[in-house]
C-alpha cells in the first residue's frame, strides 16, 4: 500500500494504526462503513499466500473499537494519530527561542 488511506466522504473513516513487528513502520486500517455507524469499525482485505502464490488469496477481517485518529483540542479531528499543525507550531516556537 502506498501512503496513508484517503478519507472517503460519507464513510466512517475511523483509523487503526498498527506498529509492525520491527518497529520501522505502521500499518493503517481505515473503516469504510457509513458515517456514524453502530458497532465495531471494520476493514476487510485480501491477503496473498506468499508461500504459495498460486493458491487463492484469503480474506482478512480486522475489527476494532476505538478510532485511533486524534481529535486535537485546537485543530479538531486529524487524519493521523497526532496533530501536524500543533507539531509545526511547537517547532516554530523552538526556533524562535534560539
Given the rule CB under 5 A, which residues bind Zn ion?
Answer: 12, 14, 31, 33, 41, 72, 74-75, 83, 85-86
Q: CB nearer to Zn ion: give 48 or 85.
A: 85
Going by their DSSP bridges, the two strands 58-64 and 41-47 should be labelled as antiparallel
Residue 75 CB, nearest distance to Zn ion (Å)? 4
Q: CB nearer to Zn ion: give 48 or 84.
A: 84
Residue 12 CB, nearest distance to Zn ion (Å)? 3
Q: How far apart are CA 79 and CA 14, in angstroms?
A: 9
40 φ, ψ to 5°?
-75, 155
Amino acid at each position: 500500500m502506498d501512503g496513508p488511506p484517503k478519507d472517503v466522504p460519507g464513510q466512517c473513516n475511523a483509523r487503526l494504526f498498527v506498529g509492525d513487528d520491527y518497529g520501522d513502520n505502521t500499518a493503517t486500517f481505515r473503516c469504510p462503513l457509513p458515517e456514524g455507524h453502530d458497532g465495531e469499525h471494520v476493514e476487510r482485505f485480501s491477503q496473498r499466500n506468499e508461500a504459495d502464490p498460486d493458491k487463492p488469496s484469503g480474506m482478512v477481517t480486522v475489527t476494532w473499537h476505538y478510532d485511533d485518529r486524534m481529535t486535537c483540542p485546537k485543530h479538531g479531528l486529524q487524519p493521523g494519530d497526532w496533530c501536524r499543525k500543533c507539531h509545526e507550531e511547537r517547532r516554530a516556537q523552538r526556533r524562535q527561542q534560539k
